[in-house]
Amino acid sequence: MRTDSSPGTLPAREHLPAGDAGTPVLDVVIPVYNEEKDLQPCVLRLHEHLKRTFPYAFRITIADNASTDTTPLVSQRLEAEIPEVKAFRLEQKGRGRALRTVWSASDAPILAYMDVDLSTDLNALLPLVAPLISGHSDLAIGSRLARSSRVVRGPKREFISRAYNLILRGSLQARFSDAQCGFKAIRRDVAQVLLPLVEDTGWFFDTEMLVIAERAGLRIHEVPVDWVDDPDSTVHIVKTATEDLKGVWRVGKALATGALPLDRIARPFGDDPRDRDVQDVPKGLARQLVGFCVVGGLSTLFYLVLYSVFRQFGGSQVANALALLVSAVANTAANRRLTFGVRGRGGAVRHQAQGLVVFGIGLALTAGSLAALNAATSDPAHSTELAVLIAANLAATVLRFLLFRAWVFPDRDDEQPRSTVVASHTPPSHTPSSPTYSTQQLPAAQTYPALPQRPTANQYATAPRGPQSPYDTTEFRAGEAAEQRSWKDATMHLNPVRPTDTDPRNS
């Protein structure tokens, strides 16, 4: 798993402005491998649907994953006949590799993909991309497991799909309902930050991207779909399931060790209402109090259990010290992550050291209370000891919160400039090499390109065909993408969609 430095923040989400330009709004990628029979019906059906229902300019990109049949010839013929179709040839297999390569080179603000069998009803396509165009969400997925979805498939695939998503929920705490439905979309600015963090190049690509996005605090929109199983699917279920489980283990390990640089992606857009300075609403204090009380209550129960266990093998002072030490370490770690929202391993040792100082103060309070109790009576009852310790811990808890908030985890609203990502990419032939990151200050003002409209029927009729098509591109290998396509240099720059808010009602 990649352990690169912080990838930086993302620009604020906003509805893409309407306008008339040549760049497509939506780029739908169809990854294929040896699909000579299904490719042409799929593209024709998708093109007819988009032309009839989608209000903006679009593009259909065929990502050929090293097919060995006549799929490349079918792709080239479709590209020559339909202006909105583009063929893309890769010499290496892997759905994730194909999506990463095409999405990274695309200039469309909304990127999507769907399986060539078109198992998902196309009426869900516009609801899928609409939240991304409007700026409401960052990613969108079709879900076959939503309550309102209508799915036709065999019991074997149903069981495998539900079991896999239960594994994701239990191991990676995933909250999205369907990771493997071949019907997803993402904003291009989000993809530029997420794709360098996704390591898998096969079928686990979707899951890894969604888990990272969810852990980073991005908004994932789910669309219930109507889905019919393809009995002729060429997916090898056992091999795919094995690779997916390996991916779950790898991503889970990276999340547990803090190897993924999620701390700077979290709440990235600067438009979270919790970040606003609202009058008469204390910023962060109420949420921190609730979190601290929950963690403190659980820590107290944990402490009392430990004290009761240690008391069986030693005196009250030794049992109190050991129980307080163990619970203090757990309390500091829980408050660090849950109450004060500190992510990653940066500063963890310092925070634990400061937490031990706070622990020492709590130890002094509880030890002094026990000493006073033992001075008052030579053989106090166990229930009396617990009552005294509870009272002492309540006092120590109040002091601990104040010290945590003011000293250990202070409000770090540093006036640091917002930064953007410069992710250095190597050609796909060197995969899986890790990109490196640096930060650059964002420009003072940057406008997003106007949202293009879909050409009219007359424009279709007069549009040049073949090599002179406005969407025509030269076929090339995957490793040559960085040199011959839209990557004119070796870096990707993220520009703010909405760097400033000029609404006079906002302070």
3-class secondary-structure state, position 264: coil
Give, for 186, the enclosing helix (H) or strand (E): strand 183-187
| pLDDT tens track for 184-240 | 999 998 998 889 889 998 889 999 999 999 888 889 999 999 988 876 665 566 777
Q: Check residues 196 and 324 and name the one with the higher pLDDT.
A: 196
Strand partners, 185: 112, 140
Give CA–CA dist 208/251, Å, rounded. 7
| pLDDT tens track for 409-429 | 876 544 344 333 333 334 444
| pLDDT tens track for 255-272 | 888 787 776 565 444 556
Q: Check: CB of residue 74 under 8 Å from CB of residue 82.
A: no
CA dihedral 487, 220, 261, 25 (to 10 degrees): 10
At 5 the pLDDT is 45
At 453 the pLDDT is 54
Percent of all residues in the chain with a pLDDT value above 70, rounded to a whole number: 72
DSSP string for 422-472: EE----GGGTTPPP-EEEEEPPS--PPPPBPBPPPHHHHHHS--GGG-TT-
Q: Check: CB of residue 208 under 8 Å from CB of residue 247.
A: yes
| pLDDT tens track for 333-360 | 888 888 887 877 778 888 888 888 887 8
Burial class of residue 19 in the structure, from the number of CB atoms within 10 Å of its CB (0-12 exposed, 13-18 middle, 19+ buried) = exposed
CA dihedral 381, 384, 390, 391 (to 10 degrees): -150
CA dihedral 496, 502, 506, 507 (to 10 degrees): 90
| pLDDT tens track for 7-33 | 556 767 778 776 555 689 999 999 999
Does the N-terminal peptide bond of residue 443 adopt cis geometry, omega within 30 degrees of 0?
Answer: no
At 366 the pLDDT is 79
Token digits of residue 503: 């609404």
Q: Check: CB of residue 60 under 8 Å from CB of residue 84.
A: yes
The DSSP symbol for 142 reads E
